[in-house]
Amino acid sequence: MKILVTDGMDRTALEQLKKDGHEVAEQFYPPEALGQALRGVDAVVVRSATKIRASHIDEAKGGQLRLIIRAGVGVDNIDVKYAENAGITVKNTPRASSNSVAELAMGHMFSCARFLSAAGHTMREGRWEKKAYGNGFELNGKTLGIIGFGRIGQSLGRMARGIGMEVIAQDIFHVPGIEEQMGMKYVELDSLFAQADLISLHTPSLNGVKLICKENIEKMKDGVVFINTSRGDNVNEADLLEALESGKIRAAGLDVYADEPSNNHALYSHPHVSCTPHVGASTKEAQQRIGAEILEIIRNFGK
């Protein structure tokens, strides 16, 4: 097949695709040029930077595009139904990056609890702010509320249980037997807001619905910590910033934003925000596993 890789992928997997006899091109296309580029390939592999919309699929019609692979979990950067209605198969790699994203969420939890981001920044400025950062808290014994209990949420839950946290979760689908297996329980969303000392968001894009908004923030405990490594458009950033300013939300750990690259300087530079630039799946191990899943998808395609 002719395969276009727009946002990069693991080099070992890419070289193996070539050894398997595929013609592989690596190039990022801006939105206005993407549709025409898709006409000349059988498959395209994208990460989060490339967004394949209905207009691109319309431009690709009549060409040879048969397969879109999202190298990652979420597929909200692809108009999946529209593509499938046009006879194009859409696949993702849901297993590969779960542990990496969960570890980053856990890292942000530690950062928020012990001021790692802010304290490190002030030290690099030559300041010794021991008193300012001397009122952190332990995660052990705290209640973690996980919204969206899929692979990533479950991985984070296991880590949290391992350091002595209580875990509650909200999800529209309840995994049979997992409450007994993990020593956690499912609760309704309002109950999670009321009980959790820390809240970690792991839902797909909710199509414009702001799950974290003023109304729901008011239901949370005073001084709650909020973590988001899922999708930035599920959060009303103005409401989050207001809650950080008032202290209703003690701290936030953010890897994703409403717009990326983020231009919300007031939010990501806030002293109580631990921030990273959407690097949840950006580990060597995750990219190797993603590459292996892509190889598996392409080798099995059409069988």
Q: List the catalytic residues.
A: 231, 260, 278
Helix, coil or strand: residue 35? helix
Edge-to-edge strand list for the sheet holding 249-254 = 185-186, 166-170, 143-147, 198-201, 224-228, 249-254, 273-275
Largest CA distance in the chain: 66
Task: Assess contact for 54 and 90: CB atoms under 8 A.
Answer: no
Residue in the structure block whose two tokens are 């790699």:
93
SS3 content of the chain, % helix, strand, coil (to 5): 40, 20, 45
* Nearest Cα residue to 282 out of 60, 9, 40, 6: 9
What 8-state DSSP symbol labels residue 169?
Answer: E
> What are the DSSP E strand ranges found in the chain?
2-5, 23-26, 43-46, 67-70, 89-92, 143-147, 166-170, 185-186, 198-201, 224-228, 249-254, 273-275
